[in-house]
């Protein structure tokens, strides 16, 4: 599914992205995919098959919490929000992501000086 | 921590509330799908097509729901199954461990379950009556002598019943031994006279017919009967038309008006034993003058507290003490029926239950020890598994799972053993133990057993986790090296020694009690004495003369029997339960309200010779003691010393309030005799001549070279020859009566002795296990010491010193515990103080010997460790 230009998201990265998208405020599953879609300028498309297991996993780990709520169109949806632990987790993941991507970039730039 | 709790709660709720989880998944998916469809529609796609696209994008909805579900439900169950399999595998590989651990568990669980079922049946199960907590027994209280539980006079009972407002009913009871006519021989059966309303009071209506009406109380009770289910079945073949038929009791026809149901188990206490029938009891001018003889049961109103009822009754007793001369100096007391019935056996049973609890603790300690030993042996394996990715939490969980598996197996065996154990216990139970019929392994007992098993398994798991945790946490590099966590079961050794010491001290004290009771000088010679009771009844024996004649002839015939050395009669045989007692005093002194209480026994002149009670002064009865003659008495030494401390008692006169008040001349003084049991010291005793005070019923006491069965048979013949309608019953040897009163002490001593032996074994095995493991773990260190020149004795000392430090700590702690425990059971002891130094020191030394013996083998093994071990490569 999806063309090659669009990136599949590594699982560990997905968790970070979900946490990040919830940093903007509580949101339901659909809203999260939209946020990621828009935020990545359509590059990152997260399938439901990955999203919901990730949400449940994060909830079980205590990084996010959820409750039933109403959307602007007056529909029932499960809203997820970041917990304090989740906020901390996001900061950590983000720091290590920066370190990793910088390292990868450095390697890729070798000899291109 | 909080996160972990929530995580766990979520997993658990995920496990059990699958429905809720499915619902949540569905709702979320549907919402997502709808949003996707709307998005397509906004982009200009037809509604149907949009839906199709959304569904396609959605892909295998069910498959990804599976993924989500898995995240939700977690791997807990899978891991548990894995862990159980792993535990079983480990146990298969170490069958020695598995068997030892399971059997130790089974021992602890089995013993405590069996003991609990006895305690539950006797003490905890409610009495089989309606609202048994409101049933109480009322007694007269002798204020001056501080004697709380005296039987009640008829007029006192009637006054209580009439005036008290706290009770929903009150019934008087008196045992009624009776002769019923029957073929081939007349039969002696025990029944009771009870106030009308008695069965209603207990809340058990007759199965057939009715209970007594209030009118049937008049003039000493009508001649009507209610039968027990057992008697109805054995004597009337469970005939339902039995109502209205008559049964002759003591020569008087009685009409049967009711039959009680099989489940009716009448209260038995004081001298109220088994009851085959009941007839109404009623006060008469005659029995109101008999003094105190009634047992009284009452039901306290639900709206009245037991305390208030007691208070009201005391108030009425206080009024009576002013109104009636005989009640002067008497008050009342009230005790719950349950406590009345089981009060005597409560403490011994609780002590035994406590002892079993200690045994269970030892079993748990031992299994924990065994588990630690296993951890120690698998130390390297654990480290390897950790190195390839197992978390220490997971390893710990496996340890706990393993304990639980061992625990479950052990408990299963234990429960089966408990069923057999209960049967064994039942056969050991002393005959006087109340309510034995309600002892059984039932749901409550099994729940108890399961809970105890669970706690035991978890305790072992917790100990294993707490102490094995370091091993599970250590890395491969550390394992076997100097940094290796050393598993020392040291504190477990201390615990075992302490528990073993407490149990053994308790056992020692009860065994010394038992042997002290056995060696009490009883005052008579029980060897080769057989006693049977003979009672005459009916019109033929109305006159005292006919009664005297019958028993005189009987004694003459019995004395002529082959092998009989001596034969006599007595009103109540020694160790045959309570007999009459009265207050009395020196006839020449003024009446004092605190005068002496003396046991009364009626006997013929030869009783002292037959029982070999020494005649210390004077003589015994002779032909002068005929009906109507001035009464003469033989008294015991205690009475002679108390009433006439200076000079001889012979020729002195005692004032006795029985028979309307008599004064009697002392003609002889005999040695003191234990009449009740070995424990109770003899009190003042008066013997009156049976020929002066005739009676219809006597215990015939025979000494001779005759076995009880033969004697009973020839006695039976002798009686039948005189009158075939006279029954003989309650045959016993005096020795069996004596040992019967020791039954409870024997029961406690035997059980505690067994527990003590088992506890010593457990302690020995436990200590051995700890130090054997310790030596195995320190082989390398010991090897180095030996290589550096440590002498064999030094190595042995090394091991022994550690063991002894632990043992001595354990002994010190155990001494403290044993002192406390022994003080708790002080009232069960006899002839030995609860702080008896001999018992404590002996037991302490015994435990020390056990500790030394159990450590010696590992110590010697340590001494044989080759120095080569030190330079050998790890494992």
Token couple for B439: 């002892």
Q: Is B221 left (phi over 0), alpha (psi -120 to 50) or beta?
A: left
Beta bridge partners of A80: A27, A66
Surface-to-core class of residue B875, CB atoms within 10 Å of its CB (0-12 exposed, 13-18 middle, 19+ buried): exposed
Task: Say if residues B597 and B628 touch (Cβ distance below 8 Å).
Answer: no
Ordered structural domains, chain A, with CATH: 11-108 (1.10.10.10)
DSSP-assigned letter for residue B872 = S
- Residues lower than pLDDT 70 in chain B: 1-22, 57-78, 144-146, 182-184, 290-291, 387-390, 467-489, 592-594, 869-875
Which residues of chain A make contact with B58, given a CB cutoff of 8 A? 48
Task: Say if residues B225 and B238 touch (Cβ distance below 8 Å).
Answer: no
- Tokens 């439900």, located at residue: B73
B812 closest CA partner among B434, B480, B550, B495:
B495
Q: Note the pLDDT of residue B78.
A: 66
Q: Note the pLDDT of residue B14.
A: 47
pLDDT, tens digit (0-9, with 9 covering 90-100), for A28-59? 988 898 888 888 888 777 777 778 888 888 88
Q: Note the pLDDT of residue B476.
A: 53
Token couple for B676: 């009740």
Q: Is the minimum CB–CB distance between B66 and chain A shorter than 8 Å? A: no
DSSP-assigned letter for residue B827 = G
B615 closest CA partner among B692, B523, B689, B527:
B523
Q: Note the pLDDT of residue B10.
A: 52
Task: Say if residues B278 and B254 touch (Cβ distance below 8 Å).
Answer: no
User: Sign of the C-alpha dihedral, residues B127, B131, B133, B136?
Assistant: negative
Rounded Cα distance, B326 and B291, in Å: 9
Q: How are strands ordered across the β-sheet holding A27-28? A: A27-28, A76-82, A64-70
Q: Note the pLDDT of residue A3.
A: 37
Phi, psi of A72 (to 5 degrees): -60, -25
**Distance (Å) from the alpha carbon of A106 to chain B's nearest alpha carbon:** 32
The answer to whether A52 contacts B28, with C-beta atoms less than 8 Å apart, is: yes
Task: Say if residues B666 and B649 touch (Cβ distance below 8 Å).
Answer: yes
DSSP-assigned letter for residue B134 = G
**Distance (Å) from the alpha carbon of B45 to chain A's nearest alpha carbon:** 19
CA B53 to chain centre: 78
Report the complex ipTM.
0.81
B479 closest CA partner among B387, B373, B368:
B387
Q: Note the pLDDT of residue B640.
A: 94
Counted across chains A and B, CB pairs separated by less than 8 A come out at: 66
- Which residues have C-beta within 8 Å of that of residue B551, sequence separation ≥ 6? B534, B569, B690, B698
Rounded Cα distance, B293 and B287, in Å: 9
Q: Which of A30, A62, A76 sits opposite B32 (nearest CB)?
A: A30
Task: Say if residues B761 and B100 touch (Cβ distance below 8 Å).
Answer: no
> What CA–CA distances, in Å, run from B173 to B232, B382, B870?
21, 73, 84
Interface of B with A in 67-106 (CB under 8 A): 67-68, 70-72, 74
The answer to whether B7 contacts A1, with C-beta atoms less than 8 Å apart, is: no
* Residue ranges of chain A whose CB lies within 8 Å of a chain B CB: 1, 28-30, 33, 47-50, 52-53, 56-57, 59-62, 75-78, 85
What's the CA angle centered on B42, arms B39 and B48, to 5 degrees? 75
Q: Note the pLDDT of residue B427.
A: 81
Task: Say if residues B36 and A85 touch (Cβ distance below 8 Å).
Answer: no
Higher pLDDT residue, B843 or A72? B843
The answer to whether A47 contacts B63, with C-beta atoms less than 8 Å apart, is: no
- Band of pLDDT at residue A5, cut at 50, 70 and 90: very low
Which residues of chain A make contact with B59, given a CB cutoff of 8 A? 1, 47-49
User: Sign of the C-alpha dihedral, residues B694, B695, B696, B702?
Assistant: negative
């Amino acid at each position: 599914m999806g063309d090659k230009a669009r990136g599949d998201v590594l699982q560990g990265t997905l968790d970070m992205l979900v946490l990040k998208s919830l940093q903007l405020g509580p949101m339901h599953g659909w809203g999260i995919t939209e946020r990621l879609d828009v935020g990545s300028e359509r590059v990152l498309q997260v399938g439901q098959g990955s999203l919901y297991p990730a949400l449940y996993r994060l909830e079980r780990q205590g990084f996010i919490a959820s409750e039933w709520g109403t959307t602007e169109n007056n529909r029932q949806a499960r809203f997820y929000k970041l917990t304090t632990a989740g906020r901390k987790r996001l900061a950590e993941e983000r720091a290590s992501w920066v370190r990793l991507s910088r390292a990868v970039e450095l390697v890729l730039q070798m000899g291109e000086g | 921590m909080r996160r972990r709790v929530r995580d766990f709660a979520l997993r658990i709720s995920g496990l059990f509330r699958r429905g809720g989880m499915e619902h949540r998944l569905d709702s979320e998916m549907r919402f997502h799908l709808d949003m996707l469809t709307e998005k397509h529609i906004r982009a200009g796609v037809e509604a149907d097509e949009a839906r199709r696209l959304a569904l396609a994008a959605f892909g295998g909805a069910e498959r990804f729901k599976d993924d989500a579900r898995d995240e939700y439900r977690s791997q807990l169950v899978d891991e548990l199954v894995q862990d159980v399999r792993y535990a079983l595998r480990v146990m298969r590989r170490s069958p020695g461990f598995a068997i030892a651990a399971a059997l130790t568990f089974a021992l602890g669980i089995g013993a405590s379950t069996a003991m609990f079922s006895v305690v539950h049946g006797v003490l905890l199960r409610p009495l089989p009556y309606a609202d048994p907590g409101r049933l109480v027994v009322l007694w007269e209280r002798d204020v001056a002598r501080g004697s709380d539980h005296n039987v009640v006079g008829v007029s006192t009972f009637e006054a209580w019943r009439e005036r008290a407002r706290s009770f929903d009913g009150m019934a008087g009871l008196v045992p009624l031994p009776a002769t019923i006519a029957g073929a081939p021989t007349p039969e002696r059966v025990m029944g009771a006279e009870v106030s009308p309303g008695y069965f209603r009071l207990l809340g058990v209506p007759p199965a057939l017919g009715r209970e007594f009406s209030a009118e049937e109380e008049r003039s000493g009770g009508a001649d009507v009967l209610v039968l027990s289910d057992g008697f109805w079945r054995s004597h009337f073949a469970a005939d339902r038309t039995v109502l209205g038929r008559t049964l002759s009791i003591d020569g008087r026809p009685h009409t049967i008006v009711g039959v009680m149901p099989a489940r009716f188990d009448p209260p038995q206490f004081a001298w109220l034993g088994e009851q085959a029938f009941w007839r109404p009891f009623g006060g008469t001018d005659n029995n109101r003058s008999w003094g105190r003889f009634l047992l009284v049961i009452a039901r306290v109103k639900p709206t009245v507290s037991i305390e208030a009822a007691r208070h009201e009754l005391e108030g009425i007793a206080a009024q009576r003490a002013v109104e009636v001369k005989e009640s002067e100096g008497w008050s009342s007391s009230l005790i719950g029926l349950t406590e009345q019935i089981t009060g005597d056996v409560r403490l011994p049973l609780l002590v035994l239950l406590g002892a079993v609890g200690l045994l269970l603790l030892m079993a748990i300690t031992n299994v924990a020890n065994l588990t630690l030993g296993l951890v120690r042996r698998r130390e390297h394996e654990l480290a390897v598994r950790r190195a390839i990715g197992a978390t220490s939490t997971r390893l710990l969980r496996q340890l706990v799972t393993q304990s639980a598996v061992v625990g479950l197996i052990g408990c299963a065996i234990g429960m089966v053993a408990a069923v057999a154990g209960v049967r064994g216990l039942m056969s050991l139970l002393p005959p006087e133990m109340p309510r034995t019929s309600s002892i059984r392994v039932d749901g409550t007992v099994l729940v108890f057993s399961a809970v105890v098993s669970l706690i035991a398994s978890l305790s072992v798991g917790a100990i294993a986790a707490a102490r094995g945790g370091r091993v599970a946490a250590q890395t491969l590099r550390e394992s076997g090296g100097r940094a290796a966590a050393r598993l020392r079961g040291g504190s477990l050794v201390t615990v075992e020694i302490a528990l073993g010491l407490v149990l053994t001290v308790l056992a020692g004290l009860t065994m010394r009690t038992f042997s002290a009771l056995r060696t009490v000088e009883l005052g008579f010679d029980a060897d080769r004495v057989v006693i049977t009771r003979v009672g005459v009844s009916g019109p033929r024996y109305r006159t005292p003369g006919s009664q005297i004649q019958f028993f005189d002839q009987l004694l003459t015939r019995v004395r002529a029997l082959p092998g009989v050395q001596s034969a006599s009669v007595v009103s109540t045989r020694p160790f045959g339960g309570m007999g009459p007692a009265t207050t009395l005093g020196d006839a020449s002194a003024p009446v004092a309200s605190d005068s002496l209480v003396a046991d009364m026994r009626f006997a013929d002149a030869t009783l002292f010779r037959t029982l070999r009670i020494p005649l210390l002064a004077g003589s015994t009865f002779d032909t002068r003691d005929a009906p109507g003659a001035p009464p003469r008495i033989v008294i015991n030494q205690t009475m002679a010393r108390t009433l006439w401390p200076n000079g001889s008692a012979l020729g002195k006169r005692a004032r006795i309030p029985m028979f309307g008040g008599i004064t009697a001349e002392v003609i002889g003084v005999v040695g003191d005799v234990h009449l009740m049991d070995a424990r109770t010291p003899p009190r003042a005793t008066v013997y009156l001549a049976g020929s002066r005070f005739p009676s219809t019923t006597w215990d015939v006491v025979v000494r001779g070279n005759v076995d009880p069965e033969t004697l009973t048979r020839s006695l039976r013949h002798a009686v039948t020859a005189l009158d075939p309608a006279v029954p003989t019953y309650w045959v016993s040897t005096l020795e069996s009566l004596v040992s019967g009163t020791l039954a409870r002490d024997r029961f406690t001593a035997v059980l505690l002795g067994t527990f003590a032996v088992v506890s010593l074994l457990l302690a020995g095995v436990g200590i051995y296990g700890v130090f054997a493991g310790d030596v195995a773990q320190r082989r390398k260190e010991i090897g180095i010491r030996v290589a550096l020149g440590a002498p064999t004795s030094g190595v042995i000392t090394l091991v022994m010193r550690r063991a002894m430090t632990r043992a001595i700590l354990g002994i010190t702690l155990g001494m403290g515990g044993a002192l406390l425990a022994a003080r708790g059971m002080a009232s069960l002891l006899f002839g030995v103080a609860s702080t008896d130094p001999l018992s404590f020191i002996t037991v302490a030394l015994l435990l020390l010997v056990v500790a030394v013996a159990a450590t010696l083998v590992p110590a010697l093994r340590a001494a044989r460790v080759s120095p080569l071990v030190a330079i050998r490569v790890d494992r």
